[in-house]
Amino acid sequence: MSHVSAPSAASSADPSAFPPPFGVIPGAQVRQVTSGREREVIRIVEDAYRLHGTGQTRNPDSYFLTFPDRPSSRIIALPASVGGDVDVDGIKWISSFPDNVARGVPRASAVLILNDTRTGYPFACLESSIISAARTAASAALAAVELSRARGARPTRVGFFGTGLIARFIHTYLVGVGLEFEAVGIHDHADEHAKGFRAYLERSPEKGRITVHATPEDLVRSSDLVVFATTAGQPHVTDPGWFDHHPLVLHISLRDLSTDVVLASHNITDDTEHCMKAATSLHLTEQRVGDRSFVAGTLFDVLTDQVGCPADRTVVFSPFGLGVLDLAVGMFVHREVVRDGALHTVPDFFSELDRYGV
């Protein structure tokens, strides 16, 4: 691959650049751009939510490729389009193979394709597991701050149920946005994973007391911010009584909570329509009660003060994960790499450019 310099805006935005140079951005460059810039990534995600909330995005249903012989595995396509200053179309193609965890490698892998909004030509392919983790963590951290603001109190005890890459990124972003914890709880069905996450916390700037809890109930009851980041395929937390202290819950993995827990909570989504599918806890609850009245609103509604969050009820944030967030973060990464003159391009990626073959 060759090395090219390009203007600070996306190279595809230059009408004279046709075809656009096709860039490949590996994970090392994605990490270099995003590491230590948690607040900036959170701002980008917030801006994307605001564009989405004001109708300046397109975010159709995700498409699931499933396998009869591998029922726990799937590959998901998330097409999307973002207007405003982001100005990009594209798609994330992300695989979820839970059996990878037993092999000692992350569950998910992904690529992101960015398309020029003027011609439709793709102009970049980015390694996207880091982008996906960063946008997920940024969304969680933004929700933690905004929902806590709406409740009038910040959490001081955080508990992580599930201890993989997403949990690690969420912790990094919670700390990066300025939250401080006097206690950090950990629970994972696999002891070695819990120990590994504890070792990560001990290497991090974390100042809180770290506890590995033997049971899920102990973790939930000892936390006023609970993060679910598991690979659960169906609800396994079924007792609303565990939440009698009314914590803030970041239900990132979407399928952990029973319908009883959902119905006992004040529920906030990132996009309600998208959450009501694929057997998520909210989808199962809709099927049970026949409507969506148990959902109070979206994070955009909270950002714009249209919906509040009571202090005397458990508040659950359930984000389905929007492709528009991946595009917004991916476009940020692309622009930064281009600005630094560090974009790797594939020469002659587009070769059949004359309609009549001249």
CATH topology classification for 132-318: Rossmann fold (3.40.50)
CATH superfamily of 2-129+323-345: ornithine cyclodeaminase, domain 1 (3.30.1780.10)
Spans of the chain, pLDDT less than 70? 1-16, 358
> Nearest CA to 274 among 316, 307, 319?
319
Beta 88-96 vs 209-212: how paired, if at all?
A: unpaired
Q: What is the pLDDT of residue 352?
A: 81
C-beta of residue 298 within 8 angstroms of C-beta of residue 272: yes
Q: What is the pLDDT of residue 9?
A: 37
Q: What is the pLDDT of residue 205?
A: 84
Q: What is the pLDDT of residue 231?
A: 86
CB atoms within 10 A of CB 93: 18
Q: What is the pLDDT of residue 5?
A: 36
Q: What is the pLDDT of residue 233?
A: 87
The pTM for the full model equals 0.92
CB atoms within 10 A of CB 131: 30
| Residue 344, phi then psi, degrees to nearest 5 | -85, 125
Alpha-carbon distances of 265 from 38, 200, 244, 256, 308, rounded to whole Å: 29, 32, 10, 14, 13
Q: What is the pLDDT of residue 14?
A: 47
Q: Any idea where the domains of the chain sit in the sequence?
A: 2-129+323-345, 132-318
